[in-house]
A = this chain, B = another copy of it.
Amino acid sequence: MIKPIGSDELQPRFIYDDSEHDKLSKEAEGLPSVVISSQAAGNAVMMGGGYFNPLKGFMNVADAMGAAEKMTLTDGSFFPVPVMCLLENADAIGNAKRIALRDPNVDGNPVLAIMDVEAIEQVSDAQMKIMTDKVYRTDDSEHPGVAAFNSQGQTAVSGPIQVLNFSYFQTEFPDTFRTAVEIRNEIAERGWKKIVAFQTRNPMHLAHEELCHMAMERLGCDGLVIHMLLGKLKPGDIPAPVRDAAIRKMVEVYFPPNSAMVTGYGFDMLYAGPREAVLHAYFRQNMGATHFIIGRDHAGVGDYYGAFDAQTIFEDEVPAGAMDIEIFKADHTAWSKKLNKVVMMCEAPDHEKDDFVLLSGTKVREMLGNGEAPPKEFSRPEVAKILIDYYQSLN
């Protein structure tokens, strides 16, 4: 199996040993504690599950600046984005060497992790600007990722962590949330050798399904890991159980047995486009994938990034040899009326826009809300049925 990044075996920061876990949980209740930001909590969950291997905890400012500026930490190791625990202030910490990090996203703010405090540093305005400029390619405060990053405070507390739970992700998405440890394990048990990962936050329509089939076929993969970003719902989002049911039904009907896994991970979206694509590839290698699909506008927002920046960054900026996972470069896919099948749009240069079956998200939601299945060139009927049932249940 493909090795994790930076070590021969995955070294998750979650404490699996039961008595150690009990001991730490008790200790945590007596420690000085801080409620951390949602972004920091997401980072802790990812480190807990082994996704950010070999990171042991939150970066100090020098490492974070290195990650932002050249994806390289002070010890020369590779990491594509800063992983920071930024606070408004460190008053609650004092001189403590060990502190409890409390979860901002769960009632009562239970302890998510214990940190060995190695440094407490102030991040200057200039450093904050460099980091956003590098990671988000903008310091525009309208950019949702920049806004979230800047809203945390400028006091960086850093050091290794021991993770005690997986926040609300395990609880709210029990059938889908999986750690990198679990996914590696299951890949081994399924006997897959060549595995492509697909990132999604939404139910998958025919174009997404066919993109996965294309990637598997062209790469010769025996396994597909559909890997959903899980997180709090925004109004209008399709609830996780419905999205899951739709994706599972698609897998059941349209994928051969033992060829696809439906899983998810707990993290906040960065909207960092190309840099986030590199992070996405990074943690897919850690979970055991050999290939990762990156399409047009991957992890982007607004018009901050060029359509294929999230692909070219792998050649232009990622240090050579930093990762073993390979990128499957894709374009949007859509049904071609001329060819009567789903094609990658860049591979149909003679097509005009009208030659494709294209529907906006708004239009699709409107149809489903009216109990109307989108055309079969757009949606599998089994998937449409699940989504229609959901929208009808809202009325």
Contacts and interface: CB of A to CB of B under 8 A. Distances in A.
B248 A175 contact: yes
Interface string A221-263: 0000000000000000000010001001001100001101110
Contact of A171 (B18, B179, B257, B261): B257
B258 A170 contact: yes
A179 B171 CA distance: 21
A355 interface: no
A351 interface: no
A185 B182 contact: yes
Contacts of A14: 188-189
Contact of A262 (B175, B257, B258): B175
Nearest to A177: B189
A166 interface: yes
A382 B166 CA distance: 29
A296 interface: no
A174 interface: yes
Contacts of A171: 257-258
B185 A181 contact: yes
A166 B181 contact: no
Given A18-B1, A252-B241, A262-B175, A170 B182 contact: no
Contacts of A252: 241
Given A185-B16, A186-B182, A175 B172 contact: no
Given A174-B258, A175-B262, A257-B172, A188 B18 contact: yes
Contacts of A166: 189
Interface string A1-27: 100000000000010101001000000
Max chain B Cβ within 10 angstroms of own Cβ: one of A174, A186, A190: A174
A13 B251 CA distance: 29
Interface in A149-188: 164-166, 170-172, 174-175, 179, 181-182, 185-186, 188
A375 interface: no
Given A175-B262, A257-B172, A165 B182 contact: no
A164 B185 contact: no
Report the contact-size class of chain A (Cβ under 8 Å from the partner).
Answer: 20 to 34
B188 A170 contact: no
A220 interface: no
Contacts of A190: 170
Contacts of A241: 252
A188 B17 CA distance: 8
Given A14-B189, A189-B179, A174 B261 contact: yes
A191 interface: yes
Contact of A16 (B164, B172, B188, B248): B188
Given A175-B175, A182-B182, A182-B186, A191 B21 contact: yes
Contacts of A182: 182, 185-186, 189
A45 to B, nearest CB: 11
Nearest to A251: B174
Contacts of A181: 185
Nearest to A168: B257
Interface string A116-146: 0000000000000000000000000000000
13 contacts: A14-B189, A16-B185, A16-B189, A21-B191, A164-B191, A165-B191, A166-B189, A170-B189, A171-B257, A174-B258, A175-B175, A182-B185, A241-B252
Given A16-B188, A174-B257, 15 more contacts: A1-B18, A14-B188, A14-B189, A16-B185, A16-B189, A21-B188, A21-B191, A164-B191, A170-B190, A171-B257, A171-B258, A174-B261, A181-B185, A182-B182, A245-B245
A-B complex: 3 closest residue pairs judged by Cβ atoms: A171-B258, A1-B18, A171-B257
